[in-house]
Structure 1
Amino acid sequence: MAPRPVSMQEPMCFISNEKNGGLRVEREALKILQQIKQPVVVVSIVGLYRTGKSYLMNRLAGKQSGFALGSTVESKTKGIWMWCVPHPSKQGHTLVLLDTEGLGDVNKGDRNHDTKIFALAILLSSTLVYNSRGTIYNKAIEELQYVTEISRFIKVRSSDEEGDDSDFVKFFPNFVWTVRDFTLELKIGGQDVTGDEYLEYGLQLKKGCSENEVDYNRPRECIRKYFPSRRCYTFPFPTNPDNMSRLESLNPDELSAAFLEVVEEFCSFVFEHSQEKLLKGGHTVSGKVLGDLAKTYVDTISSGGMPCLENAVVAISEKENKAAVEDGVCLYRSGMDRLKQTFPVELQVVTSKHRELNSMAIQEFMKRCFKDDEGDFMNSLERGIDLHFEQHLKINEEASKKKCRDLLNRLSADMADKLQKGGYAKPGGYKLYRQDMDHIVEEYNSQTKESVKAKEVLEKFVTKKSEESEHIRQADSKLSEKEKHISEEREKAFLLEQKMEAEKEEKHLLEAKMKADQDSYEEKIKWVEGKHEEEKRRYEQEFERALESKMSEQKIMLEKGFEEEAKKLQKEIEQSKKEHDVTRAKYDTELKLLRENWKEEKQELERRNEEERARQNRSRFDF
Structure 2
Amino acid sequence: MRIFSDAAEDEGKRLPQIPLRMPPVLSMPRPLCLIENDGSDLRVNEEAKNILCRISEPVTVVAIVGKYRTGKSFLMNRLAGSNSGFPLGSSVQSKTKGIWMWCRPHPRTPGHVLVLLDTEGLGDVEKGDGRNDSWIFCLAVLLCSSLVYNSFGTIDQQAIEQLHYVTELTKVITLKSSDTRDAAAERKSVLPSFTWCVRDFSLLLERDGRKITEDEYLMMSLELRPGEDFTVYNLPRRCIRSFFHSHKCFVFDRPTSKKNLHRLDEVTENELEPDFLGEAEKFCNYILRSSGTKTLTGGITVTGAMLGHLSSLYVDTIRSGSVPSMDNAVLALAEIENKGALEDALSRYECEMAAHSHTFPTETELEFYLMHWKCRRGAIMVFKARSLNDPDQRYLRELKNQIRKRKEEFMKKNEDLSREVCADLLSCLSISLQDGILEGRYSPPQGQKRFLRDKLQLLEIYNGLPGKGVKSLEALENFLHQHRSTEAVILRAAERTTQAERQMAESQYRAVQAELRRRAAEQQSRDLRRSMITQSAAHQQEISSIAGRMEENRRRTAQETRSLLSHRLQAQESRLSSSYQQSLDHLQSRIEELRRQNRRTEPDNPGAGGGCVLC
Q: TM-score, normalised by structure 1?
A: 0.82
Structure 1 counterpart SS, 2:470: coil
Alpha carbons 2:362, 2:467 under 8 Å: kept: no
- Mapping for residues 79-90 of structure 1, pairs under 5 Å: 79-90=98-109
Corresponding residue number in structure 2 for 1:542: 560
Alpha carbons 2:422, 2:468 under 8 Å: kept: no
Task: Single out whichever of 49-58 and 236-245 deviates more from structure 2.
Answer: 236-245
Distance 1:187 1:345 in 2: 82
Pick aligned residue for 2:66 from 47, 51, 58: 47
Alpha carbons 1:6, 1:94 under 8 Å: kept: no
Alpha carbons 2:65, 2:120 under 8 Å: kept: yes
Letter in 2 for 1:66: G
Distance 1:402 1:34, change over 3 A: same
Alpha carbons 1:459, 1:502 under 8 Å: kept: no
Task: Single out whichever of 242-251 and 428-437 deviates more from structure 2.
Answer: 428-437
Alpha carbons 1:42, 1:126 under 8 Å: kept: yes
Distance 1:409 1:303 in 2: 70
Distance 1:453 1:193 in 2: 86
Distance 1:467 1:501, change over 3 A: farther
Distance 2:481 2:517 in 1: 9
Alpha carbons 1:10, 1:83 under 8 Å: kept: yes
Q: What are the Cα deviations for residues 283-342 of structure 1, in whole angstroms up to 9, with x where unaligned?
A: 222233222212221222233221111111112212221221111111111221222244
Distance 2:158 2:385 in 1: 46
CA deviation after TM superposition for structure 1 residue 22, in Å? 3.1
Matched, 1:103 2:122: yes
Letter in 2 for 1:174: S
Pick aligned residue for 1:129 from 116, 138, 148: 148
Alpha carbons 1:80, 1:99 under 8 Å: kept: yes
Distance 1:189 1:485 in 2: 123
Corresponding residue number in structure 2 for 1:10: 30
Pick aligned residue for 1:459 from 477, 493, 515: 477
Pick aligned residue for 1:401 from 410, 419, 422: 419
Corresponding residue number in structure 1 for 2:603: none
Letter in 2 for 1:308: S
Task: Report sequence identity in percent.
Answer: 41
Distance 2:368 2:139 in 1: 50
Matched, 1:172 2:202: no
Letter in 1 for 2:315: V
Distance 1:445 1:337, change over 3 A: same
Alpha carbons 1:355, 1:519 under 8 Å: kept: no
Q: Which structure's CA Rg is the greater one?
A: 2
Structure 1 counterpart SS, 2:300: coil
**Number of residue equivalences:** 559
CA deviation after TM superposition for structure 1 residue 147, in Å? 1.7
Corresponding residue number in structure 2 for 1:152: 171
Corresponding residue number in structure 1 for 2:569: 551
Distance 1:201 1:252, change over 3 A: same
Pick aligned residue for 1:226 from 243, 255, 258: 243
Matched, 1:390 2:402: no
Letter in 2 for 1:5: P
Matched, 1:496 2:508: no
Pick aligned residue for 1:23 from 20, 23, 42: 42
Letter in 1 for 2:392: E
Distance 1:425 1:194 in 2: 115
Letter in 2 for 1:75: S
Matched, 1:373 2:391: yes
- Mapping for residues 192-591 of structure 1, pairs under 5 Å: 193-206=212-225, 208-212=226-230, 214-347=231-364, 349-448=367-466, 451-473=469-491, 475-476=493-494, 480-508=498-526, 518=536, 521-561=539-579
Alpha carbons 2:418, 2:468 under 8 Å: kept: no
Task: Single out whichever of 403-412 and 386-395 deviates more from structure 2.
Answer: 403-412
CA deviation after TM superposition for structure 1 residue 374, in Å? 2.0
Corresponding residue number in structure 1 for 2:592: none
Task: Single out whichever of 48-57 and 131-140 deviates more from structure 2.
Answer: 131-140
Corresponding residue number in structure 2 for 1:92: 111
Distance 1:455 1:558 in 2: 85
Distance 1:137 1:74 in 2: 25
Task: Single out whichever of 316-325 and 282-291 deviates more from structure 2.
Answer: 282-291
Letter in 2 for 1:545: S
Distance 1:38 1:423 in 2: 75
CA deviation after TM superposition for structure 1 residue 116, in Å? 1.6
Letter in 1 for 2:372: H
Distance 1:33 1:61, change over 3 A: same
Distance 1:161 1:109 in 2: 37
Distance 1:276 1:360, change over 3 A: farther
Corresponding residue number in structure 1 for 2:16: none
Q: What are the Cα deviations for residues 365-406 of structure 1, in whole angstroms up to 9, with x where unaligned?
A: 123322222221111111111111111111011112211221
CA deviation after TM superposition for structure 1 residue 192, in Å? 5.3
Distance 1:506 1:422 in 2: 40
Distance 1:118 1:422 in 2: 97
Corresponding residue number in structure 2 for 1:183: 202
Q: Let me know the Cα RMSD of the aligned residues.
A: 2.8
Corresponding residue number in structure 2 for 1:73: 92
Alpha carbons 1:39, 1:285 under 8 Å: kept: yes
Q: Please, which runs of 5 or more residues in structure 2 have no aligned partner?
A: 1-5, 8-20, 581-615
Q: What are the Cα deviations for residues 11-34 of structure 1, in whole angstroms up to 9, with x where unaligned?
A: 222222245x33222233223323
Structure 1 counterpart SS, 2:127: coil
Structure 2 counterpart SS, 1:310: helix
Corresponding residue number in structure 1 for 2:589: none
Distance 1:103 1:59, change over 3 A: same
Q: Please, which runs of 5 or more residues in structure 1 have no aligned partner?
A: 563-623
CA deviation after TM superposition for structure 1 residue 173, in Å? 1.0
Alpha carbons 1:453, 1:505 under 8 Å: kept: no
Q: What are the Cα deviations for residues 57-95 of structure 1, in whole angstroms up to 9, with x where unaligned?
A: 122223221211101222221221122233233333322
Distance 1:413 1:472, change over 3 A: same
Distance 2:542 2:206 in 1: 60
Structure 2 counterpart SS, 1:46: strand
Letter in 2 for 1:108: K
CA deviation after TM superposition for structure 1 residue 421, in Å? 1.0
Letter in 2 for 1:141: I
Letter in 1 for 2:314: Y
CA deviation after TM superposition for structure 1 residue 199, in Å? 2.9
Corresponding residue number in structure 2 for 1:116: 135
